[in-house]
Structure 1
Amino acid sequence: MKQMKHYRTKKDSNDRLSLVPVTITSKAPFQKITVNPKELKQEIIGFGGAFTESSAYNLSRINKEARERAIKAYFDPVDGIGYNIGRVSIHGCDFSLGSYLYIKDYDDSLESFDISRDQSIIKLIHDAEKYAKTKIQILGSPWTPPFWMKDNHSPIQGGKLLPKYYQTWANYFVKFIEEYEKRGVSIFSVSVQNEPAAVQRWDSCIYSAEDEKEFVKVLGPTLEKHGYQDKKILIWDHNRDIMVERAKGVLEDPVAAKYVWGTAFHWYVSEAFENVETVHNLFPDKHLLFTEGCQESGPHFGEYAVGERYGRNMINDLRNWTEGYIDWNLFLDETGGPNHVNNLCSAPVMVKIWQEELVLMPSYYYIGQISKFVKPGAIQMASSGTKDLIYVAFKNKDKSEVIIIQNEGEQDRNIEITGLKENVKLTIEAHSISTIVL
């Protein structure tokens, strides 16, 4: 028991990723969780958030000391929560300060390609790496192709990429990778399109499964031709509700499938966690990566349920073969922005600009209960038992074992955990999340 550590975040208390005793405080009967260390599942890539232009801009509006504290809070593996992966938009998105491209209008040659607008984002990535003490692995996702390449001749309200521009748009991906990597950023993957089933009043583009499949057949060979066959292509990058249909629509084609590393997904609309597992079961040689989630419609200060939403989604997705988790904006201001179409939301670290203060939200601590302790290279161990709690267990490369248990109920629950290095008995208190490390 001397080596065992218990970290907890709890509603209506001061417990925020706090080291607390392993204790039994309830007279309730014991429920069981059984971990099977011989039944191993997926290996974890890591955890992170999106380096949006809005995030970088918000940190430019506060003093240097506060900026450093904000970055450290996410990326320091000891004093922060150990982020090691991230996401950027390929040119503008709604959490840019405005829509923009990397090229001049109608430049199909891409000769004017210039990512200087992204310099604040690139600087933020490098500053994060100083605390992470490793390269941050970045996913690049486009919100829209250039407007003239689409059938609606607009960056917004959906529209489709015209087939005659498939090759030009694939070349744009190559230029994006080249220019970011010239500046020392490690691009490990790209997704075909952010939310390809959503017609939005901001930057957006529609792809059917057939469209995505056919574009992958251009993008894959184009990346290979330029020596980027190691860059992982992700499809879908949208919600769980119809991810099975989309995965089947692309991955049942053997030509497209050979270029696709896996399926990216978001949490909006649906908590159909079973769909995540179904995609794995249908395509067990492919991978799953969570690439966006946030609490919509404003900043949500003081709302503990937002933290519980994060924990519930993360635990269930990780149980169902997800290999990494990328949150949406890293840093938003007290309005939940800026967002150039007023699509405001919450972030785990909110920045009060005038006061130059950071607010670590409940979501920050819920993410940290997982990301701080489940290290890159960790492998999920199968677990089963009580249905009154949600939980997931891992073995790290250093042989340490981790189990995360969340109780969203109103009652404390006594739990007996078997199958780890030691059997554990403790109380998981109401509206809390506990991480046990052995």
Structure 2
Amino acid sequence: MEYIIGLILSLTSMSGCEDNEEAGTKKATDGEVEVHITSLDGSSLLRQLPTKLNFSKEALSGTLVEISETEQGPAIDGFGAALTGSSAYLMHNNEAAIKDLFSEEGISLSYLRLTMGASDFNKNGSYSYNDINEAEDLSLSQFSIAEDKASDNPMIPVAQAILAANSEVSIMASPWTPPPWMKSSKSYIGGSLLKAYYGVYADYFIKYLQAYAAEGIPVGAITVQNEPLHEPKTYPGMKMSALEQADFIGNHLGPKLEAANLSTDIIAYDHNFYVEEDPDYPITVLQDTKAGIYAKGVAYHAYGGAASDIDLLLTQFPDAEIHFTEQSGIIGEQTSFKGEIVWFMENVFAPMLRRGAKSILLWNLALDENNGPKNNGCQTCRGVITITSTKNIVKNPEYYLLGHFSRFVKPGAMRLKTADFKGQFENIAFENSDGSKVLVLLNTSNADDKQIQVNIGSGSFGYTLPANSLVTLRWDTTL
């Protein structure tokens, strides 16, 4: 069956929303379209309008955008953010925060990235799962995830609580550093993985995956190294060249995952769209004869370059999975509610989803009012939510942006191709596995409302997209 969505633009007038209350998702009846709106001035926040749009059978005229089921992109895995040690500390035993982020009454996030050991956001400083006093522990006899259960680093309890709130959450894990004894720097900070320890570091991954599975936390995907071309000077990190990563995946991690009968996906790279030092890094890994067997896809960040930088990889490896795994919200004098939402939509969500991204993940799920606790990391990074010292929860722009997708676009949804009306408005369409359709729209104009008419099958409906608004339209069936 072929679906046709038509979008006709004209200028019209429409009064803004006055009610600033958030509303939960209400299922539309057949032939009705739900409207959920966030005004970019913050006056309406993910608010469901009480009046639904109705389908009609009126013929359309003007410019149409046709989309077909045969042109759908890969299935969506989910939308979410990272559970760092700092986020876990703030969210521990905080049912309200977990409900706001992961339940159907909140924004129903469906993907979680775990920091595998310490990152630049930990209350208790740096650590790995095999910190020893001896020179080395080749058998990993002292491997332990006990630190992830500590009161100031409760990664495991919080991950378990998240899965209890939403069992559909997928999980990816990313390391910032191996144990120091495996590195050239002999420190959590800097250096590289010594080749003599490639095999034992692969065993380290296996032990981590098995230990987390034993805690009821299945890790479905791993990246090999967070930002492998960045060597931070003040917090955990490690350089790993493309050739080193290809060697590690192809000759060690991939075969050992296979031997252990673990189905966890290996995702390569996990760094910016473009890094001048090696812009072809992900291509080098995927085209390696051995690593290419095991690496299922590539993960990107948006701290450098643009989404268009990945087009060459998509041309050469059209079947590779694409994941977007990190970008932080920023707080500062130059940022605003509108600016954050517009930047993320125009630079991450729209271009990455149009290029077939299976997941969109932001950085910290939660930070405090001082943008911490920090482990010598980013000074201006903001969490999806802020949890203050008095346990007050502040929902940041990234919360509402994620919610316009995660609350309505469920795991397994297929992206439906629509024309790119760049310069006029953003639009991205999806079909969920239950047949419901979702259309996300962004109008950045300060003054001009857009009259939009949507054709699907033999039915159509019209909607006036207000100036300065982010809107999600959802309907269950067509006529």
Q: Give the TM-score taking structure 2 as reference length.
A: 0.83
Q: List aligned pairs for 1:209-224, cutoff 5 A.
A: 209-217=242-250, 218-224=252-258
Residue 273 in 1 paired to residue 300 in 2?
no
Question: Please, which runs of 5 or more residues in structure 2 have no aligned partner?
Answer: 1-29, 54-60
Q: Is the 8 A contact 2:101 2:108 kept in 1?
A: yes
1:100 is matched with 127
Distance of 2:429 and 2:290 partners within structure 1: 36
2:141 is matched with 111
Question: Please, which runs of 5 or more residues in structure 1 have no aligned partner?
Answer: 24-29
Q: Which of these two proteins has the greater Rg computed from alpha carbons?
A: 2
Question: Residues 4-62 of structure 1: CA distance to partner in whole angstroms, max 9, x if unpaired?
Answer: 11111112353211112578xxxxxx9956240332111111122211110111134xx
- Deviation, 1:195, is 0.2
Q: List aligned pairs for 1:160-199, cutoff 5 A.
A: 160-199=192-231
Q: Is the 8 A contact 2:40 2:337 kept in 1?
A: no
The worse-fitting range, judged by mean Cα deviation, of 240-249 and 320-329 is: 240-249
Q: Is the 8 A contact 1:160 1:205 kept in 2?
A: yes
Describe the shift of the 1:299–1:55 C-alpha distance in structure 2 as closer, same or farther (beyond 3 A). Answer: farther
Residue 418 in 1 paired to residue 455 in 2?
yes
Distance of 1:17 and 1:31 partners within structure 2: 31
The aligned amino acid for 2:363 is: W
Q: List aligned pairs for 1:167-316, cutoff 5 A.
A: 167-201=199-233, 202-217=235-250, 218-228=252-262, 230-242=263-275, 245-270=280-305, 272-296=306-330, 303-312=337-346, 313-316=348-351
Q: Percent identity?
A: 31
Distance of 1:17 and 1:207 partners within structure 2: 41
Residue 16 in 1 paired to residue 49 in 2?
no
Question: Residues 60-81 of structure 1: CA distance to partner in whole angstroms, max 9, x if unpaired?
Answer: 4xxx5xx21110011112x111
Distance of 2:426 and 2:236 partners within structure 1: 36
Describe the shift of the 1:275–1:233 C-alpha distance in structure 2 as closer, same or farther (beyond 3 A). Answer: same
Distance of 2:203 and 2:197 partners within structure 1: 10
Describe the shift of the 1:301–1:248 C-alpha distance in structure 2 as closer, same or farther (beyond 3 A). Answer: closer
Distance of 1:99 and 1:280 partners within structure 2: 36
Describe the shift of the 1:334–1:227 C-alpha distance in structure 2 as closer, same or farther (beyond 3 A). Answer: same
Describe the shift of the 1:143–1:346 C-alpha distance in structure 2 as closer, same or farther (beyond 3 A). Answer: same
**Partner-residue secondary structure (3-state), 2:382:** coil
The aligned amino acid for 1:437 is: R
Q: Is the 8 A contact 2:368 2:388 kept in 1?
A: yes
Residue 324 in 1 paired to residue 359 in 2?
yes
- Deviation, 1:421, is 6.7
Distance of 1:326 and 1:17 partners within structure 2: 19
**Partner-residue secondary structure (3-state), 1:423:** strand
Distance of 1:232 and 1:200 partners within structure 2: 27
Residue 430 in 1 paired to residue 467 in 2?
yes
Distance of 1:431 and 1:437 partners within structure 2: 20
- Deviation, 1:300, is 9.0
Distance of 2:333 and 2:264 partners within structure 1: 35
From 395, 410, 419, give the equivalent of 1:384.
419
1:154 is matched with 187
1:26 is matched with none
- Deviation, 1:346, is 0.5
The worse-fitting range, judged by mean Cα deviation, of 335-344 and 31-40 is: 31-40
2:91 is matched with 59
Question: Residues 90-137 of structure 1: CA distance to partner in whole angstroms, max 9, x if unpaired?
Answer: 2111112210011132323210111011121111111112221x1532
**Partner-residue secondary structure (3-state), 2:256:** helix
The aligned amino acid for 2:449 is: D
Aligned length: 421
Residue 346 in 1 paired to residue 382 in 2?
yes
Distance of 2:107 and 2:279 partners within structure 1: 32
Kindly report the root-mean-square deviation, in angstroms, between the aligned alpha carbons of the 2 structures: 2.2
The aligned amino acid for 2:343 is: R
The worse-fitting range, judged by mean Cα deviation, of 146-155 and 396-405 is: 146-155
Distance of 2:99 and 2:178 partners within structure 1: 34
Distance of 2:33 and 2:78 partners within structure 1: 23
Describe the shift of the 1:15–1:226 C-alpha distance in structure 2 as closer, same or farther (beyond 3 A). Answer: same
**Partner-residue secondary structure (3-state), 2:266:** strand
Q: Is the 8 A contact 1:292 1:328 kept in 2?
A: yes
The worse-fitting range, judged by mean Cα deviation, of 395-404 and 377-386 is: 377-386
- Deviation, 1:297, is 5.8
Q: List aligned pairs for 1:396-411, cutoff 5 A.
A: 396-410=432-446, 411=448
- Deviation, 1:178, is 1.0
- Deviation, 1:276, is 3.5
**Partner-residue secondary structure (3-state), 2:280:** helix
